[in-house]
Amino acid sequence: MLDLSCTEILPREYRAYFPITERYVYMNHASVSPPSIGVRDAMVQMLDGITRHGCGKFPEWERSNEWARCVAARLVNAQPQEIAFLRNTSEALSVVANGVTWRSGDNIVSISVEFPANIYPWLHVGRENQVEVRLQEAHNGWVDIDELLSRIDERTRLVTVSWVEFGSGQRLDIRRIGKFCRERDILFVVDAVQGLGALRLDVERDFVDAFAAAGHKFLLGPKGVALLYVSQRVLEQIRPTVIGWTAVKNYRDYMIHDLDFRAGAARFEGGTLNESGICGLGHSIDLLLTAGPIRIEQHLLSLNEYISRRLAERGYVVSSAGSEDERSAIVVCQHPERSAEEICEHIKMRNIIVSARLGKLRIAPHFYNSQGDVDTLIDALPS
């Protein structure tokens, strides 16, 4: 039996940071996460400064943006100039998709069970540029990496996958995929939104050329702000297609009017930024760094194992590919007879929040959730 004693330390340390725990058992971080008190307070303080001082706080906003850029870079072992702030995952992935100079006959390789944010941008550029989009089929929602890699050929220009699949919770071996692409000079783009903040990502170790991740899921930040990472190695392969006034060098010299782009990923930002959202995201990432990405990942993988075992004991069918390396912070299961939507509504009346996706129950805790939260959830589920 799994010993979870060590995994209870994190919830004890950080539970008070999340007031939602006073009323709910909240395990829906793969959808929308509640921010911590620190995130809320930082955003309120910034808005209060704007309310009281208007543009008088402009230098302070810029320092806050750059601090958030730095902590985001620390989280993924990147350089601050490789991080840009966008509105959401869809926009960030579209920046990459639209920025590549496509050639007729190129192909893009992805997976059929991707969330639409990582499908539609590629279908659009495929239709507009006579580029084939190859979607590898999944088996019962699970992806075979060997089959995915077999779809890549000499005309493959880009491979894009989710680090963690939203419908199954499967964690893909992005290091293996990324290395395969790097050896063939193929762009490797990752939708990291269902993993970043819960699992450790190292863009250098994992051969990631670009990734996108909204702040409101496992990053525990606000909605309306997202991270776009573009490696300096491939920066010139992706053209800015929405040109904001801050995209160029010396952007405060308002009458220069040239297109000498900034050196890093900030060239992809569309001008004036959501400073309060970026401030909140920066503080949420700072909390994750303080708690420790290694500890968070270990805690959540242990909770995954505990949840899976308790669900099986309760008679639920737990989706699994059978490999520990494919586990994430998400557990997906089915009741033999009752629908996922019905079960969600049933336990919601007891202030237990999970979600239904693709006909299955999706449970997604975070590092402040405890074994006791899991037991409360399991006890409330129909047997």
Band of the pLDDT at 2, cuts 50, 70, 90? Answer: very low
Each residue's pLDDT tens digit, 32-52: 999 999 999 999 999 999 899
Residue 175 lies in a domain: yes
Strand partners, 188: 159
pLDDT of 257: 86
260 lies in the same domain as 356: no
Give the angle subtended at the CA of 153 by the CAs of 149 and 158, to the nearest 5°: 75
Strand partners, 189: 160, 210
282: domain CATH number is: 3.40.640.10
pLDDT of 321: 58
Q: pTM of this prediction?
A: 0.95
pLDDT of 322: 66
Residue 101 lies in a domain: yes
Class of residue 116 by CB neighbours under 10 A (exposed 0-12, middle 13-18, buried 19+) = exposed
**H/E segment holding residue 101:** none
Band of the pLDDT at 383, cuts 50, 70, 90? Answer: confident
If one compares 251 and 301, the residue with the highest pLDDT of the two is 301
Range 114-133 average pLDDT: 97
Strand partners, 248: 261
pLDDT of 5: 52
Residue 369 lies in a domain: yes
Final residue of a structural domain among 257, 275, 290: 290
Each residue's pLDDT tens digit, 257-295: 888 999 999 999 989 999 999 999 999 999 999 999 999
Range 299-328 average pLDDT: 91
pLDDT of 252: 87
Give the integer Cα–Cα distance in Å for 308 and 2. 11
pLDDT of 256: 83
pLDDT of 9: 82
230 lies in the same domain as 199: yes
Range 302-307 average pLDDT: 96
pLDDT of 148: 98
Domain interval for residue 300 = 5-27+292-380
Give the integer Cα–Cα distance in Å for 233 and 209. 8
Q: How many structural domains does the chain have? A: 2
Residue 156 has pLDDT above 60, yes or no: yes
Range 136-148 average pLDDT: 94
Give residue for tokens 């890093």: 264
364 lies in the same domain as 375: yes
60 lies in the same domain as 137: yes
Range 110-118 average pLDDT: 97
Residue 35 lies in a domain: no
181 lies in the same domain as 326: no
Reduced to 3 states (helix: H, G, I; strand: E, B; else coil), residue 110 is: strand
Which range, of 7-21, 109-123, 267-281, 366-380, averages the lowest pLDDT?
7-21
pLDDT of 1: 42
Structure tokens given for 118:
């990582």
Q: What is the mean pLDDT of the chain?
A: 94
Final residue of a structural domain among 230, 264, 290: 290
Helices 37-53 + 58-76 axis angle, to 10: 160
* Whole-number percent of the chain with pLDDT over 70: 98
Band of the pLDDT at 105, cuts 50, 70, 90? Answer: very high
Residue 140 has pLDDT above 90, yes or no: no
β-pairing verdict for 107-111 and 132-136 = parallel
Final residue of a structural domain among 256, 290, 324: 290
Give the integer Cα–Cα distance in Å for 210 and 229. 5
Each residue's pLDDT tens digit, 200-244: 999 999 999 999 999 999 999 999 999 999 999 999 999 999 999
Each residue's pLDDT tens digit, 233-245: 999 999 999 999 9
